[in-house]
A and B are shown apart, each in its own frame.
Chain A
Amino acid sequence: MATSPQRAIELALAAIKRYERPDLEQRLHQARARLADDQVRLLVVGEFKQGKSMLVNGLVGAPVCPVSDDVATAVPTVVRHAETPVVTLVRAEGRTEVPLEELPRFAAEEGNPGNRERLLHVEVGLPRPLLAEGLVLVDTPGVGGLSSVHGAATMAALPSADAVLLVSDCSQEYTAPELEFLKQAMAVCPNVACVLTKTDLYPEWRSIADRDRQHLADAGIKAEVFTVSSTLRWHALQTGDQEVNTESGYPPLVTYLRKKVVAQADLLARRSTLHDVLTVIGQVVDSLRAEQTAQENPESVQQLIRELTEAEQRAAGLKERSARWQQTLSDGVADLNADVDYDLRDRMREIVREAEDALLAGDPQKIWDQFSVWAQQAVTSAVSANSVWATQRARWLAKKVAEHFDSDREQMLPALRVGTSDPLRSVPELAVRESDKFGIGSRLLTGLRGGYGGLLMFGLIGSVIGLTLINPISVGAALLLGGKGIVDERKRITTKRQNDCKVALRKYVDDVSFHAGKDSRDMLRGLQRDLRDHFTTLAEQLKRSLTESIQAAQKSVKASHGDRDARLAEIKTELAALERVVKQVTA
């Protein structure tokens, strides 16, 4: 049995206690805090009415997500562990707790049509073993419906997910839009599994599942496929019938979530904790070894002190702006800012161009309703694509910075380290992971609302421009035979409308661009700050370790022969003790 990450931290804390290094202890405390609230976010996505909500309910064994025959889920519902059941509404302005039975009123389309409550998401806390292991299930509104604003929000939430379940029912094989969505999802969150629901309803479910596997293989997608029936699961939960439970197909899915999703995330957590533990102990060991070398060969102490001092200066240099990782970071963020901004502008330009073509093609009055819906959808998906892309690039940047920091540090250390180069470099995940992980999605939506005034204007123009000047007969004929018999008067009105519409469209696009641009700049600024703080702290710790080594070496110069032997013996025991800890945690 490997030592648990929590235990490893305890051991390390105990082992370094005597060295009085609050900075290193702090680092271990932080690692422990991260472990404590480390959660695995599993996003349940798919086209609407495929049985997503019922799947979540089946997994937690409680009717938390509203299920209905008509479009149901209006806002993402986050289901996580809590000692007692609790429902919290999360808005941009803050969080409010509501009684349990109020949940459908907020999470479902029926009580909250088009999310008029303006919720970012709803949180449900439940005492369940699966959730207590750190799993957080997120039920999302279906994508693909007419209001594909939902879909864009789901896309935007993807980068923050640890794993994704794509839900589709067994009534038919995958359609083109579904596979398209899956491909996009894989690009941002590779840990995807496919769930085929409603096996109870379709005698042909096995052949549908085979076809779907084939489609996945053809598309080069490696994902496990699970076939389930939530109705059977529900029946089993209520009657306790084990046989029905087996038939429901849930057990393998639950095992997958435990073994592959939660355990995988655990593995990551273990790795980064181990990394912290080993680095902390490594620094203490380094100091001790430096002292050991000094005590053993008093004649070369001066040489050693020189080396250490140089190293210390270099460590101090790591904190400077001129350090390579700092350069990478600031250049990277600047580039990223420019790229993301350019990308957004480019996408918007494209939309404006297409929209103006459409407007110029005829009388905007006639296509107005569809047009404004289209414009809103196009703009939303452009913003979400842009933010997904920005997040991807930001992650990549974080990794680069970490690499540069590590290699700088390695070059700098004097040769006395024995096999302590860290095999498990991990990027500090907290850099991109915000405290409220729905950050990007929610900002996207607020961004849109910011631009809502523009949309309202759209609606207004429709009614302000009168219809009175047009004779119904001639318009009717024109409608039936497309653009025939347009009189000059109408042309004039049309041109005016076209211009009004163009202005409204541009204003809307500008509004949204402004908000979206600000959001992504804020995101990058946050990223920059987080990364800088993180690595600067690491550099400080390193510097302090080196300072301690130097002091120890200097002390040894003055020591007497007897003291020296006694100290050497001590160092030996202490090193042995630390090595035992290392062995224990890496076992």
Chain B
Amino acid sequence: MITDEVRRVLLTAIDLYPQASEVLRRQLVRLDEPLRVAIAGKVKAGKSTLLNALVGEEIAPTDAGECTKVVTWYRDGPSPRIVQFPQGKSLPVVRRDGALEIALDGPADRLVVDWPSQSLRSTTLIDTPGIASLTTANSLRTTHFLSPEDSPSEADAVIYLMRHLHSADANFLESFRDQGVARATAINTVAVISRADEIGGGRVDAMISARGIAGRYRADSSLQGLCQNVVAVAGLLAFAGRSLRQNDFMALTALAALPREELESSLLSADRFVDGSVERRALLNRFGVFGIRLAVTLIRQGVTEPSALAAELVARSGLLELQKVLHTQFGERRHLLKARSALLALDGVLRAAGDSRLTGAVERILAGTHEFTELRLLSALRSGAVKVPDAELASRLLGDEGAHPLVRLGLPRGSGPGEVGQAAFAALQRWQRHAENPMLTRRSADACRVLVRTCEGLLTREGARPPR
């Protein structure tokens, strides 16, 4: 198991480099902790809102004006607790209307929030201040946190939010990539087109439009080398859906019962809708103009249960798609991503020490772990550095859409071992044939051999029966 190998080499390193033992020990602990996923993006991209949607509770403060000022960690814990660093001071846990309120006590460089939550069990989420902010200090904090100049990054993976691909976004993604890890960072970044409902001006078909744009970005070669995938998500809607309350539902049902003309005229603008009413104002803040238009339409089309409405809102928000992508890109590769972070840190130590005693061991892990090879090939395919025939099949086989053998082989769910064996064998033959094709460049042929190796792995997996 890769984690064990990394642990072994870390332990050896601790003995060899006592001066760096603290850094290395931290990496050792980190190997057993949940994966750390940072949420980054330009100011007001909707980072905190998306974090809340992923957790299903309002634990990250959000606001229309600039809001998140320090890097804040949200991790699973037995009971709610907020600690402010560098002082290490505990802050009172205050909730108003279900929303967690954090009042900083003096200058802070980091907040750690412990929160009992199923969603945080396997991943720690890290909320960051927006980049390209007018308050430069806040933006710098994020840049420094995610790509520090002198130490390895604290995050294992990044969800990058952008409203439209702005040059500031590309610069950021690129600087993140540049830090000595070259193209490989594309494997731990997922891009999200956030506040997706607003892209279409809040029209009822807005999400369709947003998905189309995400598709275009996915195909955009300048982004392919920078991230694994692009998904459109309306975080506000997702959160409203996940936390839909009975009184919200009643208010929406009442709206849906209004005469069509009256409703249409009041939904023309936010001002018209609120019209001095406190309740409506609160509803609008929770759902957004698009959320209200959509919910009312759904109710009119016959959704009668709060739970059904909630499910529909979440589904339309794109959250499920994001969760799925996060699962395949990050969740299933958890060990690999953590091992990678640890090896990066170790590499830093080795370089600083100017010593090569462990270099061989590190190289062995990197070159010897087939999953790493797969990841590298995957990102090489994405960025176009390597070309193979049947590139889409190749990406899928390498686990681009999920690590499960059925997914890799493109088989329907529930296929039996016989079918898996057959498909894997066919794939094996295909890639062997390609590997021997004299027309291919040496690099492409090598890539095909990596794929052959993947097929062999699938065949030797327990239960898969190769055809006779």
Contacts and interface: CB of A to CB of B under 8 A. Distances in A.
A472 B281 contact: no
A48 B168 CA distance: 13
B292 to A, nearest CB: 11
* A interface residue count range (under 10 / 10 to 19 / 20 to 34 / 35 or more): 35 or more
Interface string B430-452: 00000000000111001100100
A207 B181 contact: no
A69 B289 contact: no
Nearest to A361: B178
Interface in A172-216: 172-177, 179, 198-205, 207-208, 211, 215
Interface in B155-189: 163-168, 170, 174, 180-184
A573 B64 CA distance: 73
Contact of B195 (A171, A204, A484): A171
A467 B443 contact: yes
A171 B198 contact: yes
A471 B363 contact: no
Nearest to A363: B182
A391 B183 CA distance: 42
B132 A177 contact: yes
A460 interface: no
B88 interface: no
A220 B182 CA distance: 42
B151 interface: no
Contacts of A129: none
B335 interface: no
Contacts of B213: 69-70
Interface string B179-222: 01111100000000001001111100010011011001000011
* B interface residue count range (under 10 / 10 to 19 / 20 to 34 / 35 or more): 35 or more
Given A468-B442, A476-B376, A484-B359, A207 B64 contact: yes
Contacts of A373: 222
Given A200-B270, A482-B181, A472 B450 contact: yes
B222 A202 contact: no
A548 B43 CA distance: 72
A470 B42 CA distance: 38
Interface string A56-80: 0000000000000111000000000
B442 A477 contact: no
Interface stretch (B106-114, B339-347, B456-464): B339-347
Interface string A458-495: 00000000111111111011111111110000000000
B184 A479 contact: yes
A232 interface: yes
A199 B271 contact: yes
Contacts of A145: 164-167
Contacts of A482: 180-182, 347
B367 A473 contact: yes
Contacts of A298: none
A314 to B, nearest CB: 58
Nearest to B289: A201
B399 interface: no
B307 interface: no
Contacts of A215: 134
A208 B64 CA distance: 7
A354 interface: no
A47 interface: yes
Interface centre among B66, B269, B359 (most CB of A within 10 A): B269
A477 B289 contact: no
A435 to B, nearest CB: 34
B34 interface: no
A231 B268 CA distance: 8
A532 interface: no
Given A203-B285, A472-B450, A176 B44 contact: no
A510 interface: no
Contacts of A470: 443
Contact of A69 (B209, B221, B442): B209
Nearest to B346: A481
B134 A477 contact: no
B151 to A, nearest CB: 15
Given A69-B200, A366-B182, A201 B366 contact: no
Contacts of B344: 481
A204 B139 CA distance: 23
A247 B272 contact: yes
A4 to B, nearest CB: 41
A272 B195 CA distance: 51
A37 B133 CA distance: 44
B180 A200 contact: no
A18 B201 CA distance: 66
Interface string B368-396: 00001100110110001110000000000
Nearest to A480: B184
A48 B166 CA distance: 9
A130 interface: no
B136 interface: yes
B376 A69 contact: no
B225 interface: yes
Nearest to B387: A467
Given A232-B268, A472-B380, A481-B362, A175 B373 contact: no
B14 interface: no
Interface in A36-56: 47-49
A203 B289 CA distance: 9
A172 B180 CA distance: 34
A2 interface: no
Given A69-B213, A179-B134, A207-B64, A201 B202 contact: yes
A587 interface: no
B386 A472 contact: yes
Nearest to B376: A476
Interface string B408-444: 0000000000000000000000000000000001110
A560 interface: no
A23 B189 CA distance: 73
Contact of A481 (B132, B343, B443): B343
B363 A174 contact: no
B447 to A, nearest CB: 6
A238 B466 CA distance: 68
Contact of B133 (A69, A176, A244): A176
A145 B169 CA distance: 9
A467 B167 CA distance: 30
Nearest to A151: B167
B98 interface: no
B64 A204 contact: yes
A175 B132 contact: yes
A485 B367 CA distance: 12
B298 interface: no
B166 A472 contact: no
A386 B447 CA distance: 47
Nearest to A68: B209
A171 B44 contact: yes
Interface string A142-173: 00111010000000000000000000000111
A369 interface: yes
B284 interface: yes
Interface in A351-388: 366, 369-370, 373
Given A198-B201, A472-B380, A477-B366, A175 B359 contact: no
B269 A200 contact: yes
A531 to B, nearest CB: 39
A110 to B, nearest CB: 11
Given A70-B212, A476-B376, A485-B363, 10 more contacts: A69-B209, A70-B213, A145-B164, A145-B166, A175-B132, A366-B182, A369-B225, A470-B443, A472-B443, A477-B366
11 contacts: A48-B164, A171-B195, A175-B134, A208-B65, A231-B268, A467-B441, A468-B443, A474-B367, A480-B181, A480-B372, A481-B180
The 8 A-B pairs at the shortest CB distance, nearest first, are namely A200-B269, A482-B180, A172-B44, A476-B376, A204-B64, A69-B209, A203-B270, A479-B182
